Structure 1
Amino acid sequence: MLKPNAAAPIDVKDWIDSQAIKPYQWLILALCFLIVLFDGFDVAVMGFIAPSLMQDWGLSRAVFGPVMSAGMVGLALGALTAGPYADRLGRKKILMLAVSGFSVLSLACAFARTPYELAALRLLTGVALGAAMPNCTTLLAEFLPERSRALLITLMFTGFNMGSGLGGFLAAWLIPQHGWQAVLLVGGVLPLALLPALLWLLPESPRFLAARQAPAAQVAAVLGKLGGHFAEGTRFTVNEPPVQHKAPARQLFSAQYRLGTLALWATYFMGLLVIYLTMGWLPTLLRDGGLSIERAATITGLFQIGGTLGAIVVGWVMDRSNPNRVIAVAYALGGLCIVALGAFSLESSLLVIGVTAAGFCMSGAQTGLNAFAPGYYPTEFRATGVSWMLGIGRFGAIFGSLIGGAVLSLGLGLPLLFTLLGLPAFVAAVAILANGHARLRTRRALAAQ
């Protein structure tokens, strides 16, 4: 890949931004899509096997509750842990460990003998799952030109919804014939089979390599797969602000990034709070309102379908407009849609449209935020910034799952209940606008240096 005669230093990001998207980048997108798909499958799998497992073991919902919550806690811990290591050791290494981890641990879950064993294994599985998604996001973001980054990252994230849905179909097919253990075995074997392809085809991020001052030939070899040809002696750089601390986590709270980091955390937390409150308790609300279980489940499923379409549309618009404003508008519209649900009759077709629109906006905004965050942080601590946003946000999901029952038990009318469900979406909209303000202030400060 290196030709004789030295050339001027090349900024890796600028070089990638100047190129057309190559087949190798589509391959990286496909591999990351598959990882996220298996991630979505394993995150959702306990919900699909729970009825069969509880019946098999003779467990009550109260006893099984810790098994369900253990995985969510693990997701948060995995995200918080993985980022700093990825910024030190590389995105690919941590990603390989994460995929290996949740593959093997999912297999182990199939052989658990008690709820305590299963809870411990699901906690560890959650740690591995939590490490996978932010590193997929970071790695893919560092391979894509900025003009198409948001759309392609949101395309990758549609794999999560597909994996979650696939789990339901597989559970319905496998459990009657082979038992709940078969679903966990499939969830372990499939990503394990993908590992050789990941090891062979998935490269390390060229921006990470350049930031870590890896040999020029190593960076050139990766960029060569994107069609690059470079003179021998070419130096590769990342034109980013110098870091103030060696510890990636401390960088998040430096003067330049503190406000933006807290704003991203607040946005992601509130977004997941709304989504988990809505997805977790909407079927119960509809069922208590007199709808059949089947219709309640079908209407709630439209939230996910709308979210998948919304993610793609929001990503497309983000690449063509101010991403902070696009995400803020999506959250605000999502909040309005949720509030409006309280005004619709449960038998009205407007309820179906409203739920679909709420999913379109809320999940679209949340996925758009995943695509936005990598661009806010420099290479030296990008993985930490993305993974910590996801990790803190997971506590919003946990909190939403915990408080939903308490809110429903207050006996409030549907209009007031849906208003309470929608309020955090407006907080998320304000928070992401605060991030935009912080981002603008940081750029001005750097320009003045």
Structure 2
Amino acid sequence: MTTTECSVDVQAFIDEQAFSPFQWTILVLCFLVVAADGFDTAAVGFIAPSLVQQWGVARASLGPVMSAALVGLGIGALAAGPCADRIGRKTVLVLSVFFFGVWSLAAARASSIESLTVLRFFTGLGLGAAMPNAVTLMSEYAPARIRAVAVNAMFCGFSCGLAIGGVTSAWLIPHFGWPSVLVAGGVGPIALTVLLILLLPESVQFLAIHKQADQRIARILQRIAPQSRFDGCRFVAVDARAGFVGSTSDTVNAGGASNANEPGSRPMRSQWALAVVLSSRYRFGTLMLWLAYFMGLLIYYLLTNWLPTLFKDTGFSGEKAALMTSLFPLGGVLGNLCVGWIMDRFAGHRVVAMTYVLVGVLVLLVGQGVGHQIWLGTLIFLTGTVATSAVTSMSALAASFYPTRARATGVAWMLGIGRIGGVAGALVGAMLMGFGWQFGAVFSLLAVPAIIAASGVYLMTRRRQAGEPSAVEAGAAIVAE
């Protein structure tokens, strides 16, 4: 950089740099947030058998406890996105991680089903607020050429959190009782909060659009590229998807001319992010994202909750049913990285759409493979790999679809609406079991939501103003340059 006056597009600058140790730090911190999220989300499942034994309650009475965190997750996501687009990604992320840590500690002291349900709901609020902000922050610090794979790699933390939770619970509960699992799920996030405060930066795109100090942005960018100098520079956040340039000095139009004094012009912070997400430019794509994510989670949670029952009804022993079910999540990490890598090289929405098509094909094949255990096990593994990566990649796709000033809201609302699909998956599974549907019929039916999800993702960019590039097409163009 020269020492003369200059204008720096912060996203273009990040796109031009190698992935630095500073960005690796951000990836690790966001990975840890998602891992803590995974641990705490599944905590009740780990302690449920102990609750039944110690409190002498029926398994059915744990239903409200199980669903309380999911309800909180949805509400937390819906509320956190607009807040993050107004006051900052880091601020909301730090508060949400601290929040769910504190409420997890409080839940460890619960003495009844009712109190545990309430405390798990509050824990879920923090969990729901953390995830979309981790996605948004990571997407805004990753160069365009590796953005999808970086976000998907961060999401691998969720599977790791689940695995760590299972191993930790198996040791903690016999030695210290079920409250120790919730204590671990509280102490970890609170300790992580300190690291986030000390090491995690605010999004430079957010700072540029909301007219924060140039010196603060310069210090952050120099941690990405220490050799760069920004003396006398002003920073802007150019977003071709939104057709505007946000800057640290004023709000300017796409051509770069100041519009701060034009009638009716407003700083970006005065614009409600949700209004952008639901505006005519983004509304159709938003609805398609919601539809696809809803259907994806319906498939994922139906299989996660009901695979053991389906296998046992088919004639498998309890041990073999558990073994077959364990194959479902094993390929998630590899699938996330592979699909993310492909998304960074081709149009992301088409890659995700094709992934959902593969889900549809695989569930149909699984329905026909009950009699061949090796073949069935292979198909279950592949189905889990593809289904997990399809759902996970939706967050990277949403982050690429929305402009900076509404990105956290767009991602958060997709995650929040999608949680309804997760609840619906469990309920639909129960309904199908009640109707007496068998293994093959249930899997064949799941091809329908898979194809609906694929269609939604594929069509999300079809309606836009004449002459405008779609969000994902603009992102693909950046990668190709």
Q: Where does 1:19-418 land on structure 2 (aligned, <5 Å)?
A: 19-227=17-225, 229-240=228-239, 241-242=243-244, 246-418=271-443
- Does structure 1 conserve the Cα–Cα contact (< 8 Å) formed by 2:464 and 2:470? no
Q: Which amino acid aligns with 1:406?
A: M
- Does structure 1 conserve the Cα–Cα contact (< 8 Å) formed by 2:86 and 2:269? no
**Residue 233 of structure 1: CA displacement?**
2.3
**Residue 438 of structure 1: CA displacement?**
3.8
Closer/same/farther in 2, CA of residues 302 and 441 from structure 1, 3 Å limit: farther
Q: Which amino acid aligns with 2:213?
A: P
CA distance in 1: counterparts of 2:90 and 2:153, whole angstroms: 20
CA distance in 2: counterparts of 1:298 and 1:441, whole angstroms: 53
Closer/same/farther in 2, CA of residues 312 and 83 from structure 1, 3 Å limit: same
Q: Deviations over 1:315-363 (max 9, x none)?
A: 0111111111111111111121112111112552111011011011111
Partner SS state of residue 328, structure 2: helix
CA distance in 2: counterparts of 1:175 and 1:25, whole angstroms: 37
Q: Which amino acid aligns with 1:32?
A: C
Which deviates the most, 369-378 or 231-240? 231-240
- Does structure 1 conserve the Cα–Cα contact (< 8 Å) formed by 2:310 and 2:438? no
Q: Which amino acid aligns with 1:161?
A: S
Partner SS state of residue 224, structure 2: coil
What residue in structure 2 maps to residue 18 of structure 1? 16
**Structure 2 gaps, min length 5:** 245-267, 474-481
Partner SS state of residue 81, structure 1: helix
**Residue 308 of structure 1: CA displacement?**
2.0
What residue in structure 1 maps to residue 446 of structure 2? 421
Q: Deviations over 1:58-102 (max 9, x none)?
A: 111222111111111000000000000000000000001111011
TM-score by length of 1: 0.96
Partner SS state of residue 10, structure 1: strand
Partner SS state of residue 446, structure 2: helix
- Does structure 2 conserve the Cα–Cα contact (< 8 Å) formed by 1:329 and 1:429? yes
CA distance in 2: counterparts of 1:445 and 1:323, whole angstroms: 12
CA distance in 2: counterparts of 1:421 and 1:379, whole angstroms: 35
- Does structure 2 conserve the Cα–Cα contact (< 8 Å) formed by 1:70 and 1:122? yes
Which one has a larger percent helix, Structure 1 or Structure 2?
Answer: 1
Closer/same/farther in 2, CA of residues 79 and 436 from structure 1, 3 Å limit: same
CA distance in 2: counterparts of 1:216 and 1:434, whole angstroms: 40
- Does structure 1 conserve the Cα–Cα contact (< 8 Å) formed by 2:82 and 2:274? yes
Identity among equivalent pairs (%): 45
What residue in structure 2 maps to residue 436 of structure 1? 461
Partner SS state of residue 113, structure 1: coil
Q: Deviations over 1:422-449 (max 9, x none)?
A: 32111100000011324696734899xx
Partner SS state of residue 468, structure 2: helix
Closer/same/farther in 2, CA of residues 6 and 166 from structure 1, 3 Å limit: same
Q: Which amino acid aligns with 1:392?
A: I
- Does structure 2 conserve the Cα–Cα contact (< 8 Å) formed by 1:274 and 1:422? no
**Residue 412 of structure 1: CA displacement?**
2.4
- Does structure 2 conserve the Cα–Cα contact (< 8 Å) formed by 1:257 and 1:442? no
TM-score by length of 2: 0.89
**Residue 301 of structure 1: CA displacement?**
1.6
CA distance in 2: counterparts of 1:48 and 1:88, whole angstroms: 37
CA distance in 1: counterparts of 2:406 and 2:30, whole angstroms: 20
**Structure 1 gaps, min length 5:** none
- Does structure 1 conserve the Cα–Cα contact (< 8 Å) formed by 2:311 and 2:439? no
- Does structure 1 conserve the Cα–Cα contact (< 8 Å) formed by 2:8 and 2:236? yes
Which deviates the most, 406-415 or 90-99? 406-415
What residue in structure 2 maps to residue 5 of structure 1? 4
Q: Which amino acid aligns with 1:212?
A: H
* RMSD of aligned residue pairs (Cα, Å): 1.8
**Residue 413 of structure 1: CA displacement?**
3.4
CA distance in 1: counterparts of 2:118 and 2:369, whole angstroms: 43
Partner SS state of residue 33, structure 2: helix
CA distance in 2: counterparts of 1:64 and 1:224, whole angstroms: 51
